[in-house]
Structure 1
Amino acid sequence: MTNKMPRSVRVHAGQIAHHEMGHYVVARALGFATGGVTLTVTMDLRHQGGASINLARSISSMEAMKEHLEARMMVLLAGAMAQTLPSKPSAAKRVDKLKATGILKGEQGAEQDYAKIRELQHLLRNLAYPDTDPASSERIAAQLKAVTDRIWGRTQKIIEDQAETIAELAGMLVDNMVIVEQWGRPADTYEVVMAGQVLERLRVVQSISSPRVWTDSNSDVVPHWK
């Protein structure tokens, strides 16, 4: 059905498909169990999407707790980052940091991701710097930036290393969209559901690297959220 999809709808669907597959790929790379991915886009470019991720993990120490929270924050950051990857095959697969920050702050519907990230920022800072005076606002701001910059750099590395995988899966998602029949009025919504079992059988999914591959990465210029 996508050969009949208006170009503007297909372009927008492709961007949101990258967003959802960014969440999905980074979650798998970090060892989370994953389920299906869904996407809905209307003719007037409203959209809904989701990637099912199982957050249940065994946490037996404070270090394991920190690792889990960092991984969760990375998964949340991944969608906006992946959405900014260039669509042209010949273009360098680099995250556009300014665009990603704009998406997270609500320009294109990622407000829930941003709200969760903000909570995790503070929780991770509290764990990393337990002795900081709550009244030391400048020190707290610097600590928040240090936490966020490190996690941003790690996430960006995975997104850029896995850009081709994200693009391939996003393309599959869009290619499988169908228009929804609506009794009594013209159909105006395209949707797709790719079940977890279907994704698991794909060679491109099976080739996603294990979490041990990903190490800390220093990013050059990283946005800091106030």
Structure 2
Amino acid sequence: MNFEDEERERETDLLMHLARHELGHHVMARIVGFKVGDFKIGQDTLQIYGPGGSSSTNMMRPLRTKEEIVTYSRDRCKVALAGVLAGEMEDAVIVEAQSENKLEHGGGQDDYTKAIENIQLLRNILYPDSDIEEATKEVHVLLKELWMETIQIISAEGLMIEQLATELVERKMKTPKKALILTAEEMAELPLLKERFG
């Protein structure tokens, strides 16, 4: 394998990881009922800045009761956690230890921060009278609970995410110096997502 082939393989691997990560956010957002926006992988100047991506989600939802706030916080947490779990999959199978490490110490730290913020809100609602020591334990329990729920959901969607990531990366690699950007409408029309969500 020559240098150019090695670089292309490295770039493809990075983009696959990125595509799975962003698809994790996108798919989970749709499952819990949030509206999704544009989806992007890669940069217009990939060789200089390295791959990047985003999956926009509209987090607006009417919250009139305590129960609705609790559900909203749980759903936002699952959307945040889904990215790293999907991104670290190998052959459409979640690698939990690797995902946990990436979440806390690697590229998933922003998602971890979002998840913890929502768990703190959730804890404040569910256990308003706890002291600091109790609150720390409650946050840990809620995080573990939501982590396991997210694993269960992303595991069920793993094969679709892997197949869709492959499809999108193949499209991206045809224009290596341009980002692949799809609108919410274009994403919804992709056969795999259309079959899953209608």
Q: TM-score range by the shorter chain?
A: 0.7 to 0.9
Alignment partner, residue 57 of structure 2: 53
Tell me which residue corresponds to 1:95.
Answer: 94
- Which of 148, 152, 172 pairs up with 1:157? 152
In the alignment, which residue of structure 2 is the partner of 1:77? 81
Separation in 1, partners of 2:64, 2:161: 32
Aligned partner of residue 179 in structure 2, secondary structure: strand
Q: Does 1:191 align with 2:189?
A: no
Count of aligned pairs between the two proteins: 189
Distance 2:179 2:51 in 1: 9
Deviation sequence 1:59-84 (CA, Å, 0-9, x none): 11111011011000000000000011
Alpha-carbon shift at residue 105 of structure 1 (Å): 2.1
Q: 163, 168, 176: which is aligned to 1:179?
A: 176
The runs of 5 or more residues in structure 1 that have no matched partner are: 88-92, 181-189, 211-226
Secondary structure in 2 aligned to 1:176?
Answer: helix
Q: Is the 8 A contact 1:23 1:78 kept in 2?
A: yes
User: Letter of the aligned partner of 1:159 in structure 2?
Assistant: I
Task: Give the Å deviation of 1:209.
Answer: 5.6
1:120 to 97, 114, 118: 118
**Structure 1 residue 100: deviation in Å?**
1.0
- Over the aligned positions, Cα root-mean-square deviation in angstroms equals 2.0
Contact kept, 8 Å, 1:18 with 1:167, in 2: the verdict is: yes
Question: SS of the counterpart of 1:162?
Answer: helix
What secondary structure, in the 3-state scheme, does the structure 2 residue paired with 1:179 have? coil
Whether the aligned pair in 1 keeps the contact of 2:37 and 2:56 (CA below 8 Å) is yes
Letter in 2 for 1:22: G
Q: How does 1:6-85 map to 2 (within 5 A)?
A: 6-40=8-42, 42-43=46-47, 46-85=50-89
Q: How far, CA to CA, are the matches of 2:62 and 2:191 in structure 1?
A: 28
Q: Does the residue aligned with 1:52 lie in a helix, a strand or coil?
A: strand
Deviations 1:121-140 (A, max 9, x none): 21111111111123xx1x22
2:142 to 139, 147, 162: 147
C-alpha deviations, 1:75-133, integer Å up to 9, x for none?
0000000011113xxxxx432122112221242x2222122122122111111111112
SS at 2:29's partner residue?
Answer: helix
CA distance in 2, matches of 1:209, 1:193: 20
In 2, distance between residues paired with 1:98 and 1:110? 13
Partner deviation per Cα, 1:31-64 (whole Å, 9 max, x = no partner): 1111221011634783211001111112111110
**% of aligned pairs identical?**
24
SS of 2:196's partner is coil
Task: Give the letter aligned to residue 94 of structure 2.
Answer: V
TM-score where L is the length of structure 1: 0.77
